[in-house]
Amino acid sequence: MFEFLVFIGEHITLPFAITGAAALFYIYFFRGGHDQVYVKMWFARRTYKKFVLEEGRTYEFFISQVEAKNAFVGYYTTDSPEKIQRKLNNAASDLANVLDYLQNYESLVRRYFECESFTYKQFKQFKEDVKAINYKNYIIQSDAFIAKLKNAQTPLLVEDAKVDEPVLHTMLLNPLSNGQFQMLAECANKYNIFTKEVSAEDLEFTFNCQTSKLAKILRPKINRELAVFLDTLDKGGIIINDWQSFLEKHMLFYSSDTSTQKQIMGRDMASALYKSSTIDSSKKDKYAELRTGVGEYIKQLKKM
């Protein structure tokens, strides 16, 4: 009951003075209460914030909790067997949709779940972003398939053709010139992102997964500042959306804790980003200033 009231609370900003049953009617039809997939995603976001952002659990653990919480379906004892079965089928279908989003669009889920709110309007935009990702993947796979057909020395039957999934070996959305890397290094050094002054080459090797060429793997002074730095590069279209998982998979950075050689995990960055937006106002201003400063460098970098 408490969680339902919180759900109502997030959606209670109404465009005109209505209360009671009328308010619930407005929320139900205009703010997404009628869309059970949205409602389940809204509660999934609360679970994500609790386990991933606040407790530092893994993304996989979070998904298991969502699945467990949604395994039960309420119905009245007076419901007919047909109605009960229909509720079970609908709930199973809704949960399958939610799990598909959580399992196959992790970076997008993280981005939306880490916003201050998750309204029905945001959910509709989330679904549009999913469609865009699917379309982009379709184009990539189609191009790879056509190239494979052209390069095949022997005729290849369509039903037997297998398309290799493209492998990313860079965190960059597009290649950067040496001058652009120098500007990025100047930005990182100005805001003391790392424990040492970095060169253009340091960042190039790191972002392109060539850390074996570094004298030492880069280590941030403060994890939160690295998270804000990378998140701003993501929002500015410099690095990929899935940078949190990518840096974990390719072991690109060490944690700011100099007493260990612990690599930074995706959940460390997610937690750091969340904490950077929930701390006291003086430090919030500091991170806002960092975002603004990095944003200015991004504008200059794109003009080069």
Q: Tens of pLDDT along 49-92?
A: 988 898 888 988 888 888 776 544 444 456 566 765 666 566 66
Is residue 172 one of the residues assigned to a domain? no
User: What are the distances in angstroms from CA 178 to CA 34, 141, 203?
Assistant: 52, 31, 10
pLDDT in tens, 87-121: 656 666 677 788 888 888 888 899 888 888 888 88
For residues 109 and 180, give the distance between their C-alpha atoms in angstroms, rounded to a whole number: 30
Residue 166 domain flag: no
End-to-end Cα distance, the chain: 55
- The pTM for the full model equals 0.52
pLDDT value of position 7: 47
Residues 218 and 295 in one domain: yes
Do 187 and 283 reside in the same domain of the chain? yes
In a domain? residue 170: no
Domain hosting residue 190, numbered range? 178-303
- Tokens for 181, please give them: 């890397």
Whole-angstrom distance, CA of residue 256 vs CA of residue 268: 11
Same domain, 11 and 120: yes
Residue 304: pLDDT over 80: yes
pLDDT at 284 over 80: no
Query: Does 117 share its domain with 146?
Result: no
